Amino acid sequence: MSRRAPSDNREVDPRVVDWMRRAAAVAADSWPHPNPRVGALVIDPAGCEVAAAAHAGPGHPHAEVVALRVAGDAAPGSTVVTTLEPCTHHGLTPPCVDALIAANVAKVIVGAIDPDERVAGSGVEALEAAGIEVEAGVLVDEIVALDPGYHHHRRTGRPRFRLKLAATLDGQIAASDGTSQWITSPPARDDAHRLRARADAVMVGAGTLRRDDPLLDVRLDTHVGPQPRPIIIAGSEDLPAERRVYARNPIVYSPTHESVPPALESVVAGGAAGVDLGLVAKDLAERGLIEVLVDGGPRLATSFLAAGLADELTFYFAAKLAGGAGVPMFAANFATLSDAVALRITHVSALGPDVRIDARPVGEVS
């Protein structure tokens, strides 16, 4: 077997790279969480694609199985390209490895090894034991980036949280009177909706709920997937009796049920000290909501940083200067330089007149 680590610079067959990127593209617009986003191809001995499939979600056949069914009589002797290691365990569907062996394929090319402890290399080992050639570790970084929420969840047991903040170039998310629409330009706001479209849930705090009356939905003409589940982090004060998002079945996490309108689903997660974000993370993971966009205000963003739960941060900086103190991005007091959170900037791009910066706390992998 040939295995590559993400840092391995050995020559890769250009066809293999193209096939893996094609498999990733097939999976890109699938929404299978809490199952992984997986794409698979069947390639005949002449190097031609004869089938392609993505995993649709729990209870549906996995991508490899669907691709083999589409390939039919072309499956024996073929090469199967899959973005994620084929599974070996029985869940709602039988193991993919069994289907690959039964189809008598000649080779399997794997993108990333599955971090799920029920697989974690056993799929590759089972294929090799059956006499099938395996090439694993192709474009690992790109494949993990295809579904970072899944990989993070299987490594840590909790959702992956992305904090999103939009501000003037000097760091103000609103003016002193609370006005904030619109700090950023339409291209930046459309990009933020694309972030929502990739999330299982969008979270705000009670302050944002009261001030902005947000819908927390995806408003893109091109969006065809499910809408993210709204999440509200409440305090001890009563929530408003009516808000637009209530029609979208939000989950409310609060220190007590009494502060939440009775028609809403509420979960007590904390007590006198407020909501415990660790308990929130645990409950969201149990619900299968493993990619969460935190789209609230400065208090919620500060709480996630303080709890060590901010896995990625996306900043939209508008081509505007506040020129004074309004509402800053974070609510904590910056007492001394050593309090600063060290970040690793991973991406910078222009969006119309504005700039998007993606960053991760130093030490965070995905």
Does 237 participate in catalysis according to the annotation? no
Which residue, 319, 365, 28, is CA-closest to 169? 319
How many Cβ atoms sit within 10 Å of the Cβ of residue 171? 16
Torsion angle, alpha carbons of 244, 250, 256, 259, to 10? 10
**Structure tokens that stand for 248 in this block:** 């979208």
**Interatomic CA distance for residues 275 and 233, integer angstroms:** 7
**Interatomic CA distance for residues 133 and 124, integer angstroms:** 9
**Interatomic CA distance for residues 107 and 84, integer angstroms:** 15
Opening angle at CA 288, ends 282 and 290, nearest 5: 75
Q: Are 252 and 266 in contact (CB under 8 A)?
A: yes
Exposed e or buried b per residue across 91-117, where buried means at least 16 C-beta atoms within 10 angstroms of its C-beta:
eebebbbbbbbebebeebbbbbbbbbe
Opening angle at CA 201, ends 197 and 260, nearest 5: 140
Tell me the backbone φ, ψ of residue 79, rounded to 5 degrees. -110, 130
Alpha helices in 51-185 (DSSP H): 63-71, 96-102, 122-129, 140-146, 148-156
Q: Which sign, positive or negative, has the C-alpha torsion 14, 18, 21, 23?
A: negative
Q: Are 38 and 54 in contact (CB under 8 A)?
A: yes
The secondary element (H helix, E strand) that includes residue 285 is helix 277-286
Instruction: Write down the catalytic residue from 49, 64, 135, 312.
Output: 64
The residues annotated as belonging to the active site are 64
